[in-house]
Structure formats: structure tokens, C-alpha cells
Amino acid sequence: MTPTIIAIDGPAASGKSTIGELLAKKLGYLYFDTGVMYRAITAVALNHHLAISDENAITELAEQVQIDILPPDQNDGRQYTIRADARDLTWEIRQRDVDANVSTVSTYRGVRAAMKSQQRRVGERGRVVMVGRDIGTVVFPDADLKIYLDASEDERARRRHRERIARGERVDFENVLQEIRKRDEIDSTRSVAPLKKADDAVMVDSTGLSIDDVLARVLEIVERSARG
């Protein structure tokens, strides 16, 4: 049987979001980038004019707001619909002020605990590809299939640089590389749920590979898992 819960973890710009979405479409599953929950809480906190440095206030907010991830309900290019207490935040979570603060919010122990509970609620519906940094280690350590997608620092920085240039931003490659390194350090050294490969996850290195090549490798892994 095809795994009903597939966890894909990896560092920033490793390609996990792109591959996760394509895989979900191939399987007819919900694509669930769990990082958007932290973005949603960050957006709600900014809307409430809370200080991002106020861990207690942000944690209390995360415990009160119900976040849901649903298949796209509008034909506007969205990968999914994300709602916080029924309010559609799908595009709002991509604003620059959210980008600048989500890393801090995601380090808060209480926020991560609240998001873990909500992520499990969505994932337990089944038929889902869950993408993040701690899915296979913390959120769903019993996931049917775990994949760890990685790439070199330079490769990931080039991808992120191309994305931002395509959005019309004027950005220097070296600055993007430093941002990637900083995000890696934050993710891998945080005291709560640090980024790491689960012992039973299948490693896929996407350095130098096309999207089609990586997707083909992941599909092979899914097929092997289905055969047992």
C-alpha cells in the first residue's frame, strides 16, 4: 500500500517544498508545508502588533488560534489554502515582515508545542505529504515513510537567489548565501526540535539534479515503500 503519511524534512532551499507539492499531486494527496503554520502565527502576531521578542505573548497566541491547511479553494496559483480562525492568510504569510520574523517565532518552545499538536491534527487525516524540518523526528516519528532532502550550501543559495531575482528583488548572491548559513545554524542548534535527519529517513541529495530527477528518485522510494 502507498504510505498514507509521507514526511519530507530538510534545510532551507533544499527543494523539499517543490518536491513535496509535485509528489502530492502525483499521489492525489494534500500537500502540507508545515512551516506555513509558523508563518501564519507570525502574521497573526504582527497583525495584533505583538512584539516578536515577547515569547510568552506569542506562545499564548499560538495556543489560542486554530490553523488549518486545506486543498486550494481559489484558482489564484496557491498551493493550498491556509486559514487562521477561518481567515484566509494564504498570501499574507509570504510578506517580507513575516520572512524577517518567522525564524525567531519558530524557536519558541511553547509555539512549537502548539504547532506540533495542530500539525498532527491535519496529518492524521491521512493521504498527506508533510514537509518541514522536524516531521520525521518530532511531529510524526511514526510516519509511514520519511525522506530527508538535502543539497550543498552553494546549491541552495543559488536556488534562493534565482527565486528572489525572479520576484524582481535586487539581491546579492553572497548575502543570500549568508542568510542560508544563518538559517541553517538557527535550525540545527535550536534547543527545541533541531533540524536533523531521522535515523530511518531515506537521504536524497539534490545537488546538481533537476526537479524531474529528484522527483523520479522520490517516486522510486515511495514505490519501494509501497512494495514493503
Residue 16 to residue 97: CA distance in whole angstroms: 23
Q: What's residue 58's pLDDT? A: 98
Average pLDDT over residues 4-33: 95
What domains can be seen in the chain, in order of their start residue?
Answer: 5-223 (3.40.50.300)
pLDDT reading at 210 higher than 80 = yes
Find out whether 68 and 122 touch, Cβ atoms under 8 Å.
Answer: yes
Share of the chain above pLDDT 70, in %: 100
Q: How far is CA 228 from the centre of its chain?
A: 27
Q: Residue 123 CB: number of other CB atoms within 10 A?
A: 24
Average pLDDT of the chain, as a whole number: 94
Find out whether 31 and 25 touch, Cβ atoms under 8 Å.
Answer: yes
Q: Provide the Cα torsion 208, 27, 120, 137; round to 10°.
A: -30
Q: Which residue has the higher pLDDT, 189 or 59?
A: 59
Q: What's residue 162's pLDDT? A: 95
pLDDT band, very low/low/confident/very high, at 167 (cuts 50, 70, 90) = confident
Q: What's residue 191's pLDDT? A: 83
Share of the chain above pLDDT 90, in %: 86
**What are the tens digits of pLDDT across the range 62-119?**
999 999 999 999 999 898 999 999 999 999 999 989 989 998 998 899 999 999 999 9
Q: What's residue 101's pLDDT? A: 95
pLDDT band, very low/low/confident/very high, at 139 (cuts 50, 70, 90) = very high
Q: Is 49 left (phi over 0), alpha (psi -120 to 50) or beta?
A: left
pLDDT band, very low/low/confident/very high, at 148 (cuts 50, 70, 90) = very high
Query: What residue has cell string 514505490?
Result: 223
pLDDT band, very low/low/confident/very high, at 6 (cuts 50, 70, 90) = very high
Closest CA to 20 of 102, 136, 189: 136
CA distances from 40 to 34, 94, 222 (A): 10, 9, 30
pLDDT reading at 219 higher than 90 = yes
Q: What's residue 31's pLDDT? A: 95
pLDDT reading at 225 higher than 80 = yes
